[in-house]
Amino acid sequence: MTGDEKYKKQAVLFGNLLLQCKEHSFVNGIPITGYFYTSTNRQKVIHKKHTALEEASMIALAMLCKEIPEHENWMDWYSSAVLFSEFFMKRGSVIAAPYNLLPNSVYTKAEMMGDKNEQIRATNLQQFNDGTPLNEESVLRTFPITRDNLFHGNTNVQLSGTWALAEAARLRNDSDGMKLVGKQLEWVFGANPFGQSLMYGVGYDFAPKFAYWLKDIVGALSVGMDCRSGDKPYWPATNSATFKGIWMEPVNRFLGAVSVYASQYQTISAKQESGKDIEIHTETVQSGKGVVSIIISITGNGKREIEIKAFNARLIGAANRSTYQAT
């Protein structure tokens, strides 16, 4: 906003710290990666419960990519969004098919057994066993593991992830990612196992909310869909806290996700109107030895300067920056 170089340096600093909090490999062979840790020591995976700020990391990475495209770390920021969207969000949503709710987190058995309270350990372990196994020591869950009877509800967590995925999808111009964002919004409006809109006053069969002081407000969302067992959704008619309580947090995340989701059509329209863009197509070929080759073809008119950046790959037979005659 200011154009002051010192803020640019701080943005890069925090962006690099963010990368250090992120998983970039398949730990112990599990098929999920791209999630975040609570700190740069990378010892504890973030588990979103009740409240969540998952969109913040993707907003930051997307802004860095947009505002500082010439920086040497650009590909690291961009690839982090790729790993998050492809190997955490998309791949993780498969366990909740056909609704494809976004995943909550990766949990380890060691975490579950680390609490000193024996009753809590037993409750944690039961919920851990309800998750989808990734290996003998790790599971993936759609709903968070809860430690008490108070902080329940998943809509804010789900929509925080929805906003994060939308930011990553917009950065990558990823239509499949945006379709998955759309499925999350459809869930809120009734495409869920209960056939009920979670937003008061919108859609059909919406239910009253639990309000401490105010009456039900059109557009209100509650803390959200709960889970009692089996890593499956629980949404009874009982109108009680906390999961049925009106809360501003999920509305905030909903508006953020919708604003990004709606912007994809503006981007498409702008490209269609320009009539000057070249088209870039990629094709991947995997050999029997596990080597993946990427073939890039460019169509259009005139000379174009093309820059190729790679993450976790080697560029062979192509310069990082070259001028090509598009035909």
**CATH number of 123's domain:** 1.50.10.10
Q: Are residues 178 and 214 in the same domain?
A: yes
Quote the Cα angle for 138-141-145, to 5°: 95
DSSP-derived 3-state class of residue 122: helix
Q: Are residues 51 and 170 in the same domain?
A: yes
- Strands (E) located in the chain: 105-108, 132-133, 138-141, 279-286, 292-299, 302-307, 321-326
Q: CA–CA separation, 210 vs 207, rounded Å?
A: 10
- Of the segments 56-70, 112-126, 234-248, 295-309, which one has the largest average pLDDT value? 56-70
DSSP-derived 3-state class of residue 323: strand
Mark out the alpha helices in 84-142 (DSSP H runs): 91-93, 109-112, 118-130
Q: Are residues 241 and 300 in the same domain?
A: no
Over residues 88-115, mean pLDDT: 95
Q: Are residues 168 and 235 in the same domain?
A: yes
Q: CA–CA separation, 105 vs 285, rounded Å?
A: 32
Q: CA–CA separation, 321 vs 307, rounded Å?
A: 4
Write down the pLDDT at residue 270.
54
Write down the pLDDT at residue 304.
76
Average pLDDT over the chain, rounded to an integer: 90
Tally of domains in the chain = 2
Q: What are phi and psi of 31, to 5 degrees?
A: -85, 10
Q: Are residues 286 and 231 in the same domain?
A: no
Q: Are residues 151 and 297 in the same domain?
A: no
Query: Which residues make Cβ contacts (< 8 Å) with residue 216, sequence separation at least 6?
Result: 200, 201, 208, 209, 246
Indicate the helix (H) or strand (E) that contains 67: helix 54-67
Over residues 208-234, mean pLDDT: 90
Last residue of some domain: 273, 292, 316? 273
pLDDT top residue among 214 and 221: 221
Check whether 265 has a pLDDT greater than 90.
Answer: no
Q: Are residues 269 and 295 in the same domain?
A: no
Q: Are residues 68 and 189 in the same domain?
A: yes
Q: Are residues 222 and 301 in the same domain?
A: no
User: What is the extent of the structural domain holding 172?
Assistant: 5-273
Q: Are residues 307 and 226 in the same domain?
A: no
Q: CA–CA separation, 47 vs 139, rounded Å?
A: 12
Q: Are residues 262 and 294 in the same domain?
A: no
Q: Are residues 184 and 58 in the same domain?
A: yes
